[in-house]
Structure 1
Amino acid sequence: MGRIVCFGELLLRLGAPGRELLLQSPQLQVQVGGAEANVAVSLSRFGHDVAMVSTVAGNALGAHALAELRRHGVDTRSVREDADGRMGLYFLTTGAVQRASEVVYDRADSAFANSTAADYDWPALLQGAQWLHLSGVSPALGPDVAQATLAAARAARALGVRVSFDGNFRPKLWQRWGGDAQAILHELFAQADIVFADYRDIEVILGQRFEQADVVARVEAAAAAAFEAFPQLQWLACTQRQTLSVDHHALGALLLGRDGTRAQAPVRQLQGIVDRIGGGDAFAAGILHGILSAFDADATVRFGLAAGGLKHSIPGDFNPVSEADVSDSMSGADPRVRAVLKLAPVIPVFTPDDIDDAVQVAQALFRGGLPVIEVTLRTPRALEAIKAMVDAVPDAVIGAGTVLDAAQMQAVKQAGGRFAVSPGATPRLYAAARDADLPYLPGVATGSELIVGLEHGLDTFKFFPAVQAGGAAMLSAWHGPFGDVRFCPTGGISAQTASQFLHLPNVLCVGGSWLTTVALMQTRDWDSVERLAREAAVLAS
């Protein structure tokens, strides 16, 4: 992989200890930060070759800032030192309860803000680079550094270096010097391969409004407009944040591609937030890491959101975590669940009374092309039936439904069951599935139940009872806010109505009992069971 070059200002952050007011304490804690530097540190910690380009004060403060970057593996040889310059500063008061955090900037006429395009030899600085990362903060600092930022983007494009641009629209900074934010940001967007921006940034740049009722719909409309306006642009990524309190935010993320790719990460509940500053930069670094590592879109946006979420637990601007740290903090969704659900469009739901009949059912369904079978724990011999079916048809994937407690979860595991399904879920059931190491499909019927499941790290659910809980219309409505979640609707579905669900983008398969009705069991009509299985096996085609 080639080098990543980040261009922007290094700042010193002076913060009151803990939750004290800025001037309440005689002590201030000093840390190094800056939007582009934050991205540089994250990417370096993820294992990339990263260089910082900037200008700092040629004194002990500037030397300290550079030493901090080097401590995290960032190459600082391309950072200029201005003997007469000063470091940009910002002062932080961390919020608590009803009081929001407050930032006061003191960065006017800093060494970086006063640097000019002539100070940076971009063909030399970009030699061997694969990406250049910029943000909208740098050009907002003044006319000279605005031209320097534009020169960087133009040089990168001319040299075939891909450009990453974080919109970071800061109206107060632009107003201070009367800069034409729309024109300058428009050109930077035009040079970019990926932008980190939401619909409000694009409203500023394109001068048009996006007034869809849903925030995600606004972002999608804005992205479509941006892809049309900027032919070079390939990707747009952003987070969606809901602030529930100072230390509790709900954070989601969206990644959209010019080719129609759409990936949405499930919302993460961030409770007990330590420091949110730098969260957006950590997200951007995570997305870039995913792209550089050839992750697919879903994995990329999940990694980005996990990186951004993890930053909220760490004081300071930087997110000094490794790729493994981020991966460990991700949803933890068991990939085996989706792997099972993708084996066939229909999972027969079977309630056994007789062990021999259960074996016949398993064989007939398997011959008919349905290898996954859910055996409900509604009869005394259900666990015994699971074991017999597993022994008789070892290539089938036999699991248990109506799992209601931890003891049943362990019993299913001991019987040879390959997965567990429940009509609802509790924290104890989630924990029991983890302890048993069983792929687990919990039932949900409401958005609240779904969010609880997401908080427990799952991304795939049984929608139950499907017809009574709103049917295909409900699942279609859920696809907007829960775009990355997948379902197996079960309950009230028949061979005639299954296709209504299977054609939805968030449905992997359906569960149904029409293949093993009471009448078929009473007559032991295994040929009809096999025929129904063959018909069901092609429902999604």
Structure 2
Amino acid sequence: MMPVCCFGELLLRFSPVVQGEWIRQAAMPVFVGGAELNVATALAKWHVPVSYSTVLPQNSLADDIISYVVDKGIDPSGIVRFGQRVGTYYLPQGTDLKNAGVIYDRAHSAFSELAPGKVDWDTILQDTSWLHISAISPALNANVAATCKELLAVASAKGITISIDLNYRARLWQYGKTPVEIMPELVDYCTVVMGNIWAANTLLGIPVDPQIHIREDKNELLAHALATSEAIQERFPRCKVVANTFRFDMLPAGLHYYTTLHVNGQQYVSSEYFTDSVVDRVGSGDCFMAGLIYGLYRQEAPQSVIEFATAAAFGKLQQMGDATNQSITDITTRLQSATF
């Protein structure tokens, strides 16, 4: 089978224990990640041929990282070497990338130095059947956004299936452009769009009810997901598949999770999952995206696709680190105990 290529910035996540305990312990866990690498890692674990494309500097730290990528079963041939540093971010243990706890340290990273014309995308995409990117990359700066468009244009011309994760990071998008000025022209190339009704509003300008999250009525949310999916497909004719995720915190602790998939004019709804505690929220959405690609790549039935992706994403919430290490058996076993 022809491989999937995941493109995006590799990041090192420093995960300090809260309230200064990391200082007293003189230790801070480090995880190799980045949204697109997390997707690639899961796909490799599930025996889907996958390559990874990013930019890393020519130094020993980057050499170690590439060895790590290879050890995960990922083809590193799409990694380009230039620049001076690897991007990093700090996220205190137990917090979420979407909240104010994240501290980015990725300015002037090698990846941020991308610009149109610097990479031979024809070579990177040789023998590729599927390209995956996310909305994080074009959020970095104008040159990276233009490079994303260049990459997508080449992939589209080759007839490659293109998926995008509409992951919004409020701490990014600091270069004078709003997401709705950049993202629509990128999504215009995409076959598969994953996100949620709020991300579709922020990144694409698709209308959203501003009070719907307060009511948290499932039937209302599912109807809104359908309307959002139809609006995306109407606006972006290349888009054939739209997936929406719903993840709500429960008081005093815990989480409620379910998702939808819209394809061929029909919306499919996943099982519901509940948990009283979460080990690590980072990478759950990436695991869902990997599950989505896994099922669609294998041309499985839509309900099977959404069930597998949802079970995988929920399982990642109980694993420390950026990428999942769940096996296919782990996920299918969880499916058997899901709430339908």
| TM, length-normalised to structure 1 | 0.58
Deviation at 1:229, TM superposition (A): 0.5
1:209 to 2:207 alignment? yes
Aligned to 2:187: 189
Question: C-alpha separation between the residues in 1 aligned to 2:284 and 2:329?
Answer: 18
Q: Tell me, yes or no, if the aligned pair for 2:18 and 2:93 is still in contact at 8 Å.
A: yes
Task: Give, in whole Å, the separation in 1 of the partners of 2:33 and 2:206.
Answer: 33
What does 1:63-462 align with in structure 2 at a 5 Å threshold? 63-82=63-82, 84-95=83-94, 102-174=101-173, 176-211=174-209, 213=212, 214-244=220-250, 248-257=254-263, 259-330=264-335, 332=336, 457=338, 459=340
| Alpha carbons 1:19, 1:94 under 8 Å: kept | no
1:18–1:310 distance in 2 versus 1, CA, 3 Å: farther
For structure 1, list consecutive stretches of 5 or more residues without a partner in the other structure: 333-455, 460-541
Instruction: Give the corresponding residue for 2:51.
Output: 51
Q: Deviations over 1:353-410 (max 9, x none)?
A: xxxxxxxxxxxxxxxxxxxxxxxxxxxxxxxxxxxxxxxxxxxxxxxxxxxxxxxxxx
Cα 1:457–1:195, aligned 2, differ >3 Å: closer, same or farther? closer
Residues 442-479 of structure 1, C-alpha deviations (whole Å, 9 max, x = no match):
xxxxxxxxxxxxxx5453xxxxxxxxxxxxxxxxxxxx
Distance 2:123 2:15 in 1: 37
Aligned-pair distance for 1:322? 2.2
Instruction: Go from structure 1 to structure 2 and tell me whether the alpha carbon gap of 1:75 and 1:225 turns closer, same or farther (over 3 Å shift).
Output: same
Change in CA separation of 1:240 and 1:156 when aligned onto 2, cut-off 3 Å: same
Deviation at 1:19, TM superposition (A): 8.4
TM norm structure 2: 0.91
Q: Which amino acid letter does the alignment assign opposite residue 233 of structure 1?
A: C
CA distance in structure 2 between the aligned counterparts of 1:178 and 1:25, rounded to whole angstroms:
40
Residue identity matched to 1:200: W
Partner-residue secondary structure (3-state), 2:103 = strand
Q: Which amino acid aligns with 2:318?
A: S
Measure, in 2, the Cα distance between the counterparts of 1:262 and 1:179: 33
CA distance in 2, matches of 1:327, 1:162: 26
C-alpha displacement of 1:321: 2.2
- Per the alignment, do residues 29 and 328 of structure 1 end up closer, same or farther by CA in structure 2, a change over 3 Å counting? same
Over residues 92-148 of structure 1, what are the superposed CA-to-partner deviations in whole Å (9 max), with x where a residue is unaligned?
Answer: 21238xxx8822111111000112222221111111111000000001111111111
User: What CA distance in whole angstroms lies between the structure 1 residues aligned with 2:300 and 2:202?
Assistant: 31
- CA shift, 1:224, in A, is 1.1
Answer 1 or 2: higher relative contact order, Cα 8 Å, separation at least 6: 2
Asked if structure 1 preserves the Cα contact closer than 8 Å seen for 2:292 and 2:309, the reply is: yes
| Distance change in 2, residues 1:254/1:22 (3 Å) | farther
2: CA distance between counterparts of 1:237 and 1:296? 14
Q: Which runs of 4+ in 1 moved over 6 A?
A: none
Structure 1 pair 458/275, CA: closer, same or farther in 2 (3 Å)?
closer
Return the letter of the residue paired with 2:237. P
Q: Residue in 1 aligned with 2:13?
A: 13
Determine the C-alpha separation between the residues in 2 that align with 1:305 and 1:18: 30
Partner of 1:426: none
For 2:71 and 2:63, the matched residues in 1 are separated by 12
> In the alignment, which residue of structure 2 is the partner of 1:37?
37
Distance in 2 separating the partners of 1:62 and 1:311: 26
Do the aligned partners of 1:12 and 1:65 also contact (CA within 8 Å) in 2?
A: no
Structure 1's 135 and 310: CA in aligned 2 closer, same or farther, altered over 3 A?
same
Tell whether the 8 Å contact from 1:239 to 1:253 is kept in structure 2 after alignment.
yes
Larger Rg: 1
- 2:206 and 2:231 in contact (8 A); partners too: no
**Secondary structure of 2:36 counterpart:** helix
The 2-side partners of 1:69 and 1:18 are apart by 29
Deviations 1:50-71 (A, max 9, x none): 1111101222221222222111
**d(CA) in 2 for partners of 1:129, 1:140:** 25
**1:458 to 1:11, Cα distance in 2 relative to 1, 3 A:** closer
> Letter of the aligned partner of 2:35 in structure 1?
A
SS in 2 for 1:306: helix
| Mapped partners of 2:320, 2:64: distance in 1 | 18
1:38-93 residue CA offsets vs partner (Å, 9 max, x unmatched): 001011111011111110122222122222211110111221122x4111111121
Q: Which amino acid aligns with 1:231?
A: P
- Residues paired across the two proteins, number: 329
Instruction: State the alpha-carbon separation in 2 of the partners of residues 68 and 252 from structure 1.
Output: 32
- String of CA shifts for 1:23-46, please: whole Å, max 9, x gaps: 554211111000010001011111
Question: Displacement, 1:248?
Answer: 1.4
Q: CA deviation at 1:161?
A: 0.4
Q: State which drifts further: 38-47 or 21-30.
A: 21-30
Letter in 1 for 2:207: R
What SS does the aligned partner of 1:287 have? helix
Aligned-residue offset at 1:217: 2.1
Deviation, 1:245, is 5.1
